C-alpha cells in the first residue's frame, strides 16, 4: 500500500511486563521533509493501555505548526482507536463515566490525547489498525523499542534521514477492520498473509540474503548505510524486487 509522500506517517506501540508492571512506549514519526524520529520511554509501574496512549500522545506532541495534511497513525491497540474515535464522546457526555457509571480509566491520558488531536489541526488524523507481530517493520520496530524500555534496556533511538533508516517504512498494511480483541502474535517463524508466506530479502556489501522474520533481517541491515531490504510475499515478487536492485535472483544466501 502506497502512502502519500505529503502525509505524516506514525507507528506507535506500548508494552508492559506484568500489566500492571514496568512498561514502555515507542513511536516512529516520519515527516514529509524526509526525516525520521524514533521516540521511546517507560514507567516503573503502569499498564499496557497506558503505554499505548502515551505512545500516541508523544508522537503527536512532536508535531507543530502543521499545514492542512494527513497524519496516518498505525497502532495495534483497538483500545486506543476505539477510545479516541468512538467511546470518548459518550465518556464526555456522561461526565467521564463509562456505560456502567464507573470512572473512565486513564482519564488524564485520554484528555491529553484529545488536546493533542485538537492541537495538530488543521491536520487530520487517520487512526489505522495494524495487527501486532504481523511482520510490518514499523510496528515490529516500535515493539522492540517499547519492550526495551519496559525491561530497562533503553534501546538507542534513531533521528535522521529516512534514506538512512534501517526500517522499511514503505511496507505498511492495507486498511483492515478492527478485531474484537487484540490478537496474540507469534514471536518466531514467518507470518502468514493472504497470498503466501512473508519473507524478507536484504542486500548489503555485495551479499544478498533471505530472512524468515523481520528480526533476522533487521540484524543484518540495522546501522548499515546503503543497505537494501524488502518484505516479499511470493517468489515472483522477490524476483521483481531483486531485479529492481540490479541483483541476480539466483544469488540469494539463505
Active-site residue, from 140, 143, 168, 171? 143
Active-site residue, from 14, 24, 132, 138? 14
Query: Within the chain, what is the greatest distance between any pair of CA atoms?
Result: 64
Phi, psi of 95 (to 5 degrees): 70, 40
Is 248 among the catalytic positions? no
Active-site residue, from 133, 138, 211, 218? 133
The secondary structure of residue 65, as a DSSP letter, is: S
Residue showing cell 512532536: 62
Q: Which three cell numbers stand for residue 69?
A: 495534511
Distance between CA 107 and CA 111 in Å, rounded?
A: 6
Distance between CA 211 and CA 68 in Å, rounded?
A: 40
Q: Are 196 and 233 in contact (CB under 8 A)?
A: yes
Is 254 among the catalytic positions? no
Distance between CA 124 and CA 133 in Å, rounded?
A: 27
Of 5, 49, 46, 55, residue with least CA distance to 26: 55
Burial of 130 (0-12, 13-18, 19+ CB in 10 A): buried
Is 64 among the catalytic positions? no
Active-site residue, from 23, 40, 58, 76? 76
Angle CA(2)–CA(130)–CA(66) in degrees, nearest 5?
Answer: 60
Is 133 among the catalytic positions? yes
Contacts (Cβ under 8 Å, ≥6 apart) of 105: 49
Quick check: helix, strand or coil at residue 62? coil
Active-site residue, from 52, 144, 168, 171? 52
Active site residues: 13-14, 52, 76, 133, 143
Amino acid at each position: 500500500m502506497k502512502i502519500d509522500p505529503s502525509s505524516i506517517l506514525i507507528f506507535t506501540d506500548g508494552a508492559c511486563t506484568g500489566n500492571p508492571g514496568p512498561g514502555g512506549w515507542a513511536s516512529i514519526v516520519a515527516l514529509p521533509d524526509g526525516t525520521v524520529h524514533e521516540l521511546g520511554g517507560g514507567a516503573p509501574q503502569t499498564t499496557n493501555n497506558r503505554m499505548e496512549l502515551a505512545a500516541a500522545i508523544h508522537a503527536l506532541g512532536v508535531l507543530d505548526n502543521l499545514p492542512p495534511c494527513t497524519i496516518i497513525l498505525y497502532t495495534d491497540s483497538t483500545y486506543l482507536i476505539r477510545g479516541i474515535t468512538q467511546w470518548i464522546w459518550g465518556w464526555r457526555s456522561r461526565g467521564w463515566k463509562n456505560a456502567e457509571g464507573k470512572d473512565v480509566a486513564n482519564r488524564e491520558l485520554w484528555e491529553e490525547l484529545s488536546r493533542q488531536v485538537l492541537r495538530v489541526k488543521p491536520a487530520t488524523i487517520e487512526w489505522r489498525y495494524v495487527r501486532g507481530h504481523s511482520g510490518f517493520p514499523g510496528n515490529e520496530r516500535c515493539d522492540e523499542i517499547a519492550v526495551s524500555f519496559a525491561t530497562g534496556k533503553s534501546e538507542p533511538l534513531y533521528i535522521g534521514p529516512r534514506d538512512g533508516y534501517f526500517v522499511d517504512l514503505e511496507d505498511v498494511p492495507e486498511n483492515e477492520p478492527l478485531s474484537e480483541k487484540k490478537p496474540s502474535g507469534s514471536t518466531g517463524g514467518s507470518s502468514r498473509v493472504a497470498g503466501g508466506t512473508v519473507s524478507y530479502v536484504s542486500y548489503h556489501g555485495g551479499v544478498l540474503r533471505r530472512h524468515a522474520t523481520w528480526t533476522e533481517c533487521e540484524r543484518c541491515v540495522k546501522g548499515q548505510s546503503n543497505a537494501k531490504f524488502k518484505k516479499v510475499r511470493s517468489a515472483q515478487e522477490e524476483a521483481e524486487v531483486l531485479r529492481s536492485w540490479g541483483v541476480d535472483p539466483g544469488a540469494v544466501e539463505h
